[in-house]
């Protein structure tokens, strides 16, 4: 009954106090901690921004989940990029076809690493397997070049007839499939890399990318026949869609709502479909020429900094601000010791109008390993909060139950409001990361709570 009461706006507003109370009960908190401890951190529930490789513009574009251009990266050494992926640290991994290399870029587009190998002569798609290895396609001769998590070469896999390799895609159990454009087939492998068989279809022509939805169904884009072929979890054909609307479809990425985002080789447009093949909308592939492969940002390190407040429209609202700002791509803000310092918390646009919250401060800036998935779909945290074994300091508590959650160092009222105001500045150098949990009717959590965005503050 409690969960069901959240499904209508009126009930959610009447019961917000009950939701907070349930979270604060000792038994409930212990149960939530057990849930977190048992969860595997990948794949995360929420996806973030969308990345697209620009084949003819030699760059990578970053969009919000709803298709608004955020920035473009044009790193030196990138020529005709194809595959694009995200690693656990939020870095962008992109494959250059013509100069046959893999570039690892930080979230700002700076080159961290360049990877080459004699077997990688015409790089295409890239995917990371459940074992942590990277699988890079090579077009012709068709092969898969495998690297470990540290980018050491592990093996090169070849199969007779598997020519024109474009993409590698993994099922949850480690089985994976490879598109071979010149063979007009999909080659299927078990988790150990043994060939299981091939899949063909009358509408298959230059198969490009494979995406897999939450039900394990497979979607394969066809670069020459201009359609998407849908197969079930066992690779039996289900339907074909997109004819007449798609213009040589290329990359496919699936978000947490099982929406397919599809790029086109011969049109500067990215389309979005549901799993039944219904066109939901389109947006311009701004910033790139000839969008090829696509990838959603699912790295815990970055998602933990985005927060999940009011994700009804895709992107989370940045409700936490320092000096009116939310920081750069990783939520970083620098200020002087004598500069005024103000920390504010806004309410979610979804309500409630006055939203109780917890706000924590952790010394330093947490790394990728510190990202913590909160239970019951409340989102990611950049650092483990005290209730989950972390050592962060509680700055403000307007959720109540101080004997359990702790007494905040600062007086707190519900958001929106100012949490801290220091007109003369902090007065001493400090590096700290701020993040909170906010009551939010736009949350996916049954407790109507969401993680706020995180801010890594450097006072110097």
Tens digit of pLDDT for each residue in 236-256? 999 999 999 999 999 999 988
CB 314 within 8 A of CB 320: no
**DSSP summary character for residue 122:** S
Distances (CA, A) of 83 to 25, 123, 183: 47, 8, 20
Nearest to 220 by CA among 245, 243, 252, 254: 252
* pLDDT at residue number 387: 80
CB 96 within 8 A of CB 109: no
* pLDDT at residue number 28: 36
CB 48 within 8 A of CB 306: yes
* pLDDT at residue number 359: 97
CB 4 within 8 A of CB 446: no
Nearest to 387 by CA among 39, 24, 40, 38: 24
At 336-388, the pLDDT tens digits run 999 999 999 999 999 999 999 999 999 999 988 899 998 878 889 999 998 88
* pLDDT at residue number 311: 84
* pLDDT at residue number 107: 86
- Parse the chain into domains and list their residue ranges: 2-42+308-459, 53-297
Domain 53-297: CATH superfamily, name plus number: TolB, C-terminal domain (2.120.10.30)
Scored b (16 or more CB within 10 A) or e, 334-343 reads ebeeeeebeb
Distances (CA, A) of 380 to 14, 364, 460: 26, 18, 28
Distances (CA, A) of 392 to 26, 91, 382, 435, 441: 19, 26, 11, 10, 26
How many C-beta neighbours within 10 Å does residue 98 have? 14
* pLDDT at residue number 30: 35
Distances (CA, A) of 339 to 252, 257, 392, 429, 458: 47, 43, 25, 11, 12
One digit per residue, pLDDT tens: the chain, 460 residues? 212 222 233 333 333 344 444 333 333 333 333 333 333 333 445 678 999 999 999 999 999 888 999 899 999 999 999 999 999 888 999 999 999 999 999 988 999 999 999 999 999 999 999 999 999 999 999 999 999 999 999 999 999 999 999 999 999 899 999 999 999 999 999 999 999 999 999 999 999 999 999 999 999 999 999 999 999 999 999 999 999 999 999 999 998 889 999 999 999 999 999 999 999 999 999 999 999 999 998 888 888 999 999 987 667 899 999 999 999 878 999 999 999 999 999 999 999 999 999 999 999 999 888 999 988 788 899 999 988 888 999 999 998 888 888 899 998 889 999 999 999 999 999 999 999 999 999 998 888 999 999 999 999 9
């Amino acid at each position: 009954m409690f969960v069901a009461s959240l499904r209508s706006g009126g009930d959610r507003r009447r019961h917000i106090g009950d939701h907070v109370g349930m979270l604060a009960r000792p038994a409930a908190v212990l149960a939530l901690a057990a849930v977190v401890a048992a969860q595997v951190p990948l794949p995360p529930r929420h996806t973030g921004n969308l990345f697209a490789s620009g084949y003819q513009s030699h760059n990578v574009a970053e969009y919000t989940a709803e298709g608004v251009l955020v920035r473009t990266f044009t790193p030196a050494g990138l020529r005709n990029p194809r595959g694009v992926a995200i690693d656990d640290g939020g870095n962008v991994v992109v494959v250059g076809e013509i100069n046959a290399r893999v570039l690892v870029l930080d979230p700002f587009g700076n080159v961290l690493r360049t990877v080459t190998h004699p077997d990688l002569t015409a790089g295409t798609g890239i995917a990371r397997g459940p074992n942590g290895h990277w699988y890079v396609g090579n077009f012709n001769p068709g092969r898969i070049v495998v690297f470990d998590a540290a980018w050491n070469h592990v093996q090169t896999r070849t199969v007779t007839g598997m020519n024109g390799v474009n993409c590698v895609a993994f099922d949850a159990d480690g089985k994976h499939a490879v598109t071979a454009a010149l063979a007009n087939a999909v080659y299927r492998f078990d988790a150990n890399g043994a060939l299981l068989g091939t899949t063909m279809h009358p509408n298959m022509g230059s198969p490009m990318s494979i995406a897999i939805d939450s039900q394990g169904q497979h979607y394969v884009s066809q670069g020459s026949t201009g359609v998407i072929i849908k197969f079930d979890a066992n690779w039996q054909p289900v339907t074909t869609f997109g004819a007449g609307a798609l213009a040589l479809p290329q990359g496919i990425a699936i978000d947490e709502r099982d929406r397919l985002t599809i790029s086109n080789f011969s049109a500067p447009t990215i389309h979005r479909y549901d799993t039944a093949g219904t066109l939901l909308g389109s947006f311009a592939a701004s910033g790139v020429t000839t969008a090829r492969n696509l990838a959603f940002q699912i790295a815990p390190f970055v998602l933990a900094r985005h927060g999940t407040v009011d994700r009804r429209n895709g992107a989370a609202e940045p409700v936490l601000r320092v000096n009116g700002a939310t920081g750069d791509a990783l939520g970083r803000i620098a200020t002087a010791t004598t500069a005024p310092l103000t920390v504010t918390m806004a309410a979610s646009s979804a309500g409630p109008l006055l939203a109780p919250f917890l706000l924590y401060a952790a010394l330093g800036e947490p790394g990728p390993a510190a990202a913590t998935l909160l239970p019951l779909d409340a989102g990611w945290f950049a650092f483990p909060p005290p209730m989950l074994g972390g050592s962060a300091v509680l700055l403000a508590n307007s959720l109540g139950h101080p004997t359990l959650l702790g007494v905040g160092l600062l007086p707190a009222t519900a958001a929106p409001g100012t949490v801290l105001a220091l007109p003369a500045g902090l007065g001493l150098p400090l590096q700290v990361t701020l993040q909170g949990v906010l009551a939010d009717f736009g949350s996916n959590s049954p407790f109507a709570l969401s993680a706020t965005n995180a801010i890594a503050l450097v006072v110097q």
